[in-house]
Amino acid sequence: MGGIKELIDTKEFYFAAGAATIALTYGVYKFAKYLDFQDEYFQTVNNWCWVKQKCTSNRRVLVLGLDGAGKTKFVTCFHPNANPRDTVMDPAPTVGFCVKSVPIGDTCFDIWDVGGAVDGRSYWREFLLDIDVVVWVVDSSASERFFESRCALHRFLRHPETRGLPVMIIASKQDCRSALPQEDVFRAMGVDIHKHNEFSIIGTSLPSTGERKGIWQAYKMITRMSPNYMNRMNHIRAVENKVNNTKHDKVKRGDKALVC
Ligand SMILES: Nc1nc2c(ncn2[C@@H]2O[C@H](COP(=O)(O)OP(=O)(O)OP(=O)(O)O)[C@@H](O)[C@H]2O)c(=O)[nH]1
Ligand SMILES: [Mg+2]
């Protein structure tokens, strides 16, 4: 007992207690920061665990939007363990489509990157089978094409297969000087008439060299939105069975989308 009292009275004890408090505070700070970490290069998801994780679930992501909107750049940057110093090459326009499988943590993202050229847009609906979430990419720096993008999106959402599908809008090229804020891009898409879809907006800056932003948020959002899809489909089916006015509703949706 006397020994402990003596120990407490020593300078070393106070020094050690001070050091321990600082270390603990630092640990708590780091942990809090980790929880709110914007991990643009996915270094935490696959690396913090020494054992390589196996894919236990799949998400099918369909990436659409006008030509030159930034779809392929988004898909290129959407992968784990990218080196922050890597230069991302400017992609060539996509002819047809490309599929990429990206394992992140225990989830495999099957990403369908479809070319946005005018003559291919009528085939977009062919990619809708088993899709969990649609990523709609809009070039925020090309406001003169917002209307074209809006019309293309509304035309796409007129297909009955898109009912209940979550749509994440990407306001790309936020690093460009002429880029409009993501809220303006969202408003310009005028999606509030599509009551059966859930929408979200994420801004991305993916310059070829330098800091890239928005991919982590997009990953989080895709993960959040896609499991809701089945719930929404069940809900929609229940509503449709009750009201039994599907045909009338489709016509109504078509009329409104003609505002384009
Ligand atoms: N500065 C900047 N440039 C971007 C960004 N995203 C895309 N780009 C550039 O925009 C151009 C078009 O990008 P793509 O990804 O090829 O566009 P896309 O939507 O795949 O076009 P299609 O394949 O023709 O449908 C490329 O030169 C990209 O490097 C961005 O966030 N910032
Ligand atoms: Mg492309």
**SS3 assignment for 14-47:** HHHHHHHHHHHHHHHHHHHHHHCCCCCCCHHHHH
Tokens of residue 120, six digits:
């291919």
Residues 168-211 pLDDT 10s: 999 999 999 999 999 999 999 999 988 889 999 999 999 988 88
Q: How far apart are CA 159 and CA 252, in angstroms?
A: 13
Residues 79-130 pLDDT 10s: 876 665 678 889 999 999 999 999 888 889 999 999 999 999 999 999 998 8
Predicted complex: ipTM over 0.85: yes
- Centre of ligand 2 to C-alpha 113, Å, is 7
Answer whether 98 contacts ligand 1 (Cβ < 6 A).
no
| 74 alpha carbon, closest ligand | 1
Beta pairing class for 97-104 and 107-114: antiparallel
Task: Specify the ligand 1 atom closest to the Cα of 205.
Answer: 31
Answer whether 194 contacts ligand 1 (Cβ < 6 A).
no
